[in-house]
Amino acid sequence: MFETFGLPVKYDIDLAHLDREYKELQKKLHPDKFATKSIDEKTLSTNASSAINLSYHTLKDPVCRAEYMVCMYLYSQKFFNIRF
């Protein structure tokens, strides 16, 4: 999620940067821009836009961001034994 917006993986993030990147990505990938495209392109756009929205809202909310980071940590410990 952090990498989607070019952000470092840390709790304190630049919310102005998050907002700018979100708007830029939506300008490029919003499904309305693909209304006349093929079904495959429409599907890719819809999926990408949904993933961007989920990432944005998760990172924008401090509680959701913390929960996501805890899940990332626990997952990395269980499967990869990576230390943050």
Single pTM value for the model:
0.82
Distances, alpha carbon 53 to alpha carbons 33, 62, 75, in Å: 16, 16, 22
pLDDT over threshold 60, residue 84: no
Band of the pLDDT at 5, cuts 50, 70, 90? very high
pLDDT at 82: 58
Structural fold of domain 3-79: Helix Hairpins (1.10.287)
- What are the residue boundaries of the structural domains of the chain, listed by start? 3-79
Exposed, middle or buried: residue 38 (CB in 10 Å: 0-12, 13-18, 19+)? exposed
The predicted model gives 44-58 an average pLDDT of 96
The predicted model gives 42-55 an average pLDDT of 95
pLDDT at 83: 61
The predicted model gives 17-42 an average pLDDT of 94
Alpha helices per DSSP H over the chain: 15-29, 39-60, 62-79
